Amino acid sequence: MSSFLQKPNIGGDCLRTLEGKVDLSNWKMDIIVSSDGTTKFRHKLVDGLMIESVVIPLRDGKICLCLSSQAGCSLRCVFCVTGKEGLFRDLTHDEIILQLEAMWDHIKPKTPTSIVFMGMGEPLLNYDNVIKAIRTINDRKRYNFAEHKITVSTAGVADRIVDFGNDCNAKLAISLNSADDKRRSDLMPINRKHDIEAIISECKKFPVSRRRLLMFEYIMFKGVNDSTKDADALAELLKDIPSLVNLIPFNEHPYSDLCRSDPDVVLMFKKRLMSKGIKTFIRESRGQDIGAACGMLSP
């Protein structure tokens, strides 16, 4: 693990992209490198708040850039570090783009193969700035990065799902984690407002295509949501939605008593879903030793 403090190197093209609402003289960042090559950027914003973003090297040589959309988070999912102190504020368009610029500059001469809004915050609760940032990233005169290579993750803000599908061509990933309303509400309090029925109803209206299937993220907790019965319920829930499932072994941390499912259980769960026609993948955790893995980013 290594760490060093520096100012972001902001090029002229990026400066022309910004709306001029960030004082770059006060923007600082700490770069922390994991033993597996994952790199976490801790950005100190002009008002002193901290946000984090991550460069994730993948096994096939591809590179994923993970962006935050808010400082903190209001949703307080019990498995996520980000929400433990609540929401401080939305990030501006410029603050989202500056994260991207810092990471893009860091990986040069390589370029990212995917960009995900899976860092701190709920992107669909900072809707306008996230959509604006996606358009900037896609703009041929700016980053010229294809929208279908961008994925936005949501805890399930049901009344924004169809809007998102119509307003851009980026992919949408829904953090589901259970097909049972009571259990999902225990894990994710947002389910009391946007329950599974509401989410699935909106997902069925989402404009999908061959390159744009809906994704459902399913964090696996030992003894909580990882049984054969849970797999069958999930398959039944998703059977009529063109989609794929990403299984994510829980990244354990001191702020939660939950435990990750055993590897053989995760594999069983995948095979069960696949046998029922659900395209399923297991996501490899990266950057755990520096608190950069899924659910571990902290304000």
Residue 295 lies in a domain: no
Establish whether the linkage from the previous residue to 109 is cis, with ω within 30° of 0: yes
Task: Give me the number of domains the chain comprises.
Answer: 1
Residues present in the chain in total: 299
- Decide if 296 is inside a domain: no
pLDDT for the residue numbered 210: 85
Q: Is residue 217, in this structure, part of any structural domain at all?
A: yes
Does pLDDT of 16 surpass 60?
no
* DSSP classification of residue 20: S
Known catalytic membership, residue 122: no
Is residue 158 domain-resident? yes
User: Which entry of 52, 101, 202, 217 is annotated as an active-site residue?
Assistant: 52
- Residue with more model confidence, 80 or 18: 80
- DSSP secondary structure string, 232-250? HHHHHHHTTS-EEEEEEE-
Domain assignment of residue 235, yes or no: yes
Q: Does a structural domain hold residue 299?
A: no
Q: Is residue 298 one of the residues assigned to a domain?
A: no
Whether the pLDDT of residue 277 is over 50: the answer is yes
- Residue-range definition of the domain harbouring residue 257: 2-290
The verdict on whether 147 is a catalytic residue reads no
- Residue 161 near residue 180, CB atoms below 8 Å: no
Q: In angstroms, rounded to a whole number, what is the distance separating the alpha carbons of residues 7 and 43?
A: 9
Q: Encode pLDDT of 39-85 as tens digits.
A: 999 999 988 999 999 999 998 899 999 999 999 999 999 999 999 98
Angle at 124 between CA 62 and CA 121, to 5 degrees: 70
Among the options 64, 73, 80, 294, which is catalytic? 294
pTM for the structure as a whole? 0.92
Contacts of 36 (CB under 8 A, 6+ apart): 57, 286, 287, 289
Asked whether residue 244 is assigned to any structural domain, the reply reads yes
What is the CATH number for 123? Answer: 3.20.20.70
Task: Extract the tokens encoding 177.
Answer: 């984690």
